[in-house]
Structure 1
Amino acid sequence: MKENLINSAIDVLDANFQKGGFTIPSEGLYPFQWKWDSGFIAIGLSHYNIEKAKAEIKTLLDAQWENGFIPHIVFHNENKSYFPGADFHRSELHPLSSKKFKSTGMTQPPVTGFVLQEMYRIAEDKEDMLNFIKDNIDKVYQNHGYFYKHRDPQDEGLMYIYHNWESGTDNSPVWDDIWDTMNPPEYNFERKDTTHVDASQRPSNREYDHYLHIIEIAKEHNYDDAKIAELSPFLVQDPLFNAMLIKSNQALLELYELIGGKEAEKLNLRQWQKKSISRFNQKLFNKELGAYVHYDLRNEKAIPLVSSSSFSPLFAGIPDQERAEILLKTMLDKFGGDDKYLCASFDPTDERFDPKKYWRGPVWINMNWLLYYGLKNYGFAKAAERIKADSVELIERDGFFEYFDCRKETGESKRTGYGGNNFSWSAALLIDLLKN
């Protein structure tokens, strides 16, 4: 059964791999290259086709801007089946944007550093992979340098995101109260996602008005980071985004040690780590909730809601053992009922929870993958195995979907996953979980 599942996952990845050397997340729904998707996809590809895995990362880094920024979508073609596309985002407004590729002017969680380390872990030919890393690691380091220079206005080691899409958790209930502070115009646009997927599983048109409004403000100022920090109504320090940066900092540090030299880069990484981890623990941990939470930098207040992002610091080794045990208890108490699969993307005990709607409650395989390794890091073997088993069971029963209902019983006779089908990172990370 395990081999069959791995072979099916390989079929999904191979079907989604494009001539340009990148993998689309899902045919129809997502026809371009996404930043953090590509990272997770490269991990799966490394298990059976290392050359494709290297192409995936090289193609992504090829779209890097001159200031170190890596965009969240690279528009490799003129596909009109996605909104908002290249013509809306207009990355060329930024003077240092890529001259080679059109892209968005926003980013996504910085996973590429730890992805390079995972590729090295998986690769059979270590020397070949180390050579690949030598050729590409400085670009990833420059991406981290961009964050510390341009996304940390208070110099506290915590990066802001200026758009909910930068978080990766697009329509999470965490953002609801921020939307209440905004009153964007009603834009006239044609949604493309709802022609591929049931609208009840996607954000509403009014939510899209907020999303587009934030981009319009950024475009008005040519995607200037300082102006965005000053003017964007959405400015958040996200535990998931910052945990991915901290994990990738550590990976770069260890890879540079392996390569040798690069003393200045290693010194910077150590200093960044010290500052980021310390401030992360001081500012983002909520004792009452027993979890890390988002901080609304624009309105200077914590957002006291628990999501799967709240547990992502386990993956980056941010909490000490005592605090990790508190996180585990919160996860199991709120998310871990006998009638639930781990781990819902949002607190199932909260009234905003929705088990079908994108990041408002469904299970996502990429988050489960992070949590599996995070729980293992702290010796929580039983919980780690449960997350792995739940992930495998969901895919085995419902298919290689984008996200899944966390309820074990939904009352539906013909059960299926939600969002895009034959979804690349679900396939890629399942391969890694099963090969582990």
Structure 2
Amino acid sequence: MSDFRAIARGILQDNDRGGYTVPTAGLYPFQWNWDSAFVAMAFAEFDVPRGCLELERLIEGQWDDGMIPHIVFHQPSDSYFPGADVWRTSHRIPTSGITQPPVFGMAVKALHDSGAPAERIRPLFHAALRYHRWWYSARDPEGTGLVALLHPWESGSDNSPAWDVALARVPTTTTTPVKRKDTGHVDPAMRPRDQDYQRFIHLVDTYAACGWDAAEQWDAAPFKVACVQTTGILLAAGEGLQQLARALGEEAAAAELDAMNARSRAGLDQAWSDADSRFRSLDLVSGQRVAAPTQACFIPLLALDLPAARMAAAEQEMRRWCEGMLVSFPTTPRDYPGFEPRRYWRGSVWPIIDWLLVQGLLRNNATALAEDIRHSIVTALETAGFCEYFDPTTGEPCGGGHFSWTAAAYLHLSQLKITLSTAA
């Protein structure tokens, strides 16, 4: 019988590049923001110092304004596009110019709870606090409570159907030649389409022309979506950081985080749709709520205690998405026209999304569904291996292999013991 936990730990060791972990060799040869935060939380379970180092290497790329970029280019590689030369940022080490979901604060709290010493946690806490301040100032300047994305890549769910309408307004013209490398590593049928990449790079060109100034980007952005998934993660991280601030004796920071969290909590409450039994993001350009159903619509469970009626409706809707699936949880339901089970984020199952959803369901006492999803993805990983994501209809492993955050998700979910609720 295979020792899958040992295999998962081996993947993290294999993908170590000197204190930081690449997602997988070739396809993703640098350090990615939320990937590393998930990896650090996995390290918190068996190697706390290495988990701290993972985050310390990540914040080598933190900008003076507090943003933690989505990629830190510690070493050169020609196996990925767009590289540092396309981003044209002026940070002290090469980075991208956009960010990713702020799982970072969750990882700092996990390392603290696992016994990391205060002398390593305190600098990470302050980096996280500066990052949260950046989110609220740069990406919610009007105080709505929902933080906005200026590029689909900032969502982590790069070509999700959630972005189809907003992204369609972005021109396909670029001043940068698009030289895709991803389709040389992975079947093109699993990746975003060429037209998507043209629009992705148009946005990079637009913001590079702003000198990556946050206020100028906000004004120039042709893509601007206030995202419930990102806000839910920000709030969950903020709750953990508020608890950590008190543990560290940082009372002023605790009060500041309390105000930030209250702002996000109110924004998410307004984003709930009774008609759809889910949360809905807001397209700030059109003023319309995002209609596409995606996993993002349920990530706020991670940070909210829903009223019973809302939670019952959300759970029923989530169960509907799982019907007939070999692996759960699909990032888009089968009956949605944009459903493509093998293509990146358009219906596929991602272990790290299951990690977040399971935590949200447990918070809201939906233990049976949490266990169903946990068991489904653990079984898929033990059957098909530690791939980037799965086709939910067939269980086929898709994307890159030997994947770091997939190994991290397995280490977390495989040992999670869920006690089923006896409540009616």
Q: TM-score under structure 1 normalisation?
A: 0.92
**What residue number does 1:263 align with?**
251
Q: Secondary structure at the match of 2:53?
A: helix
**What residue number does 1:300 align with?**
287
Q: Secondary structure at the match of 1:188?
A: coil
CA contact (8 A) 1:277 1:318 kept: no
Matched, 1:433 2:413: yes
CA contact (8 A) 1:308 1:345 kept: yes
Matched, 1:52 2:50: yes
Deviation at 1:116, TM superposition (A): 1.5
Deviation at 1:179, TM superposition (A): 2.7
Deviation at 1:129, TM superposition (A): 3.5
Taking the TM superposition and a 5 Å limit, the aligned residue runs for 1:319-334 are: 319-333=306-320
**What residue number does 1:248 align with?**
237
Matching residue's letter, 2:331: S
Matching residue's letter, 2:309: E
Q: Secondary structure at the match of 2:282?
A: strand
Matched, 1:288 2:275: yes
**What residue number does 2:109 align with?**
117
**What residue number does 1:33 align with?**
31
Task: Say which is worse superposed, 204-213 or 273-282, in terms of deviation.
Answer: 273-282
Aligned residues: 415
Matching residue's letter, 1:17: D
Matching residue's letter, 2:29: P
Identify unmatched segments of 5+ residues in structure 2.
417-424
Cα distance in 1, alignment partners of residues 225 and 219 from structure 2: 13
The C-alpha deviation readout for 1:384-420, integer Å capped at 9, x for no partner, is: 111110111111111100000111xx3xxxx741111
**What residue number does 1:190 align with?**
179
Taking the TM superposition and a 5 Å limit, the aligned residue runs for 1:140-219 are: 140-185=128-173, 188-219=177-208
Matching residue's letter, 2:342: K
Deviation at 1:432, TM superposition (A): 1.2
Cα distance in 2, alignment partners of residues 145 and 72 from structure 1: 17
**What residue number does 1:314 align with?**
301
Task: Say which is worse superposed, 170-179 or 104-113, in terms of deviation.
Answer: 170-179
**What residue number does 1:4 align with?**
3
Cα distance in 2, alignment partners of residues 322 and 75 from structure 1: 46
Deviation at 1:224, TM superposition (A): 1.5
Q: Secondary structure at the match of 2:217?
A: helix
Cα distance in 1, alignment partners of residues 170 and 85 from structure 2: 25
Matching residue's letter, 2:105: G
Cα distance in 2, alignment partners of residues 84 and 226 from structure 1: 24
**What residue number does 2:22 align with?**
24
**What residue number does 1:233 align with?**
222
Deviation at 1:271, TM superposition (A): 1.1
Q: Secondary structure at the match of 1:91?
A: coil
Deviation at 1:180, TM superposition (A): 2.5
Cα distance in 1, alignment partners of residues 308 and 60 from structure 2: 39
Matched, 1:424 2:404: yes
Deviation at 1:434, TM superposition (A): 1.8
Cα distance in 2, alignment partners of residues 49 and 276 from structure 1: 33
**What residue number does 1:359 align with?**
345
Cα distance in 1, alignment partners of residues 305 and 154 from structure 2: 21
CA contact (8 A) 1:36 1:109 kept: yes
Please report the RMSD computed on the Cα atoms of aligned residues, expressed in angstroms.
1.5
Taking the TM superposition and a 5 Å limit, the aligned residue runs for 1:335-414 are: 335-407=321-393, 410=394
Matched, 1:278 2:266: yes
Identify unmatched segments of 5+ residues in structure 1.
93-97
Q: Secondary structure at the match of 1:319?
A: coil
Matching residue's letter, 2:110: E
**What residue number does 1:95 align with?**
none
Q: Secondary structure at the match of 1:120?
A: helix
**What residue number does 2:421 align with?**
none
Taking the TM superposition and a 5 Å limit, the aligned residue runs for 1:88-127 are: 88-92=86-90, 98-99=91-92, 101-121=93-113, 123=114, 126=115
The C-alpha deviation readout for 1:201-236, integer Å capped at 9, x for no partner, is: 001111100000011110111112212211211000
Matching residue's letter, 1:59: R
Cα distance in 2, alignment partners of residues 351 and 74 from structure 1: 36
CA contact (8 A) 2:71 2:95 kept: yes
Matching residue's letter, 1:184: T
Matching residue's letter, 2:148: Y
Q: Give the direction of change, closer, same or farther, for the CA distance of 1:206–1:338 in structure 2 (3 Å limit).
A: closer
Q: Secondary structure at the match of 2:3?
A: helix
Matching residue's letter, 1:428: A
Deviation at 1:118, TM superposition (A): 1.9
Matched, 1:13 2:12: yes
CA contact (8 A) 1:153 1:229 kept: no
Q: Secondary structure at the match of 1:42?
A: helix
CA contact (8 A) 2:189 2:343 kept: yes
Deviation at 1:132, TM superposition (A): 2.1
**What residue number does 2:121 align with?**
133
Report percent identity of matched pairs.
32
Cα distance in 2, alignment partners of residues 189 and 224 from structure 1: 24
Taking the TM superposition and a 5 Å limit, the aligned residue runs for 1:60-79 are: 60-79=58-77
Deviation at 1:130, TM superposition (A): 3.7
Deviation at 1:318, TM superposition (A): 5.3
Q: Secondary structure at the match of 2:134?
A: helix
CA contact (8 A) 1:281 1:319 kept: no
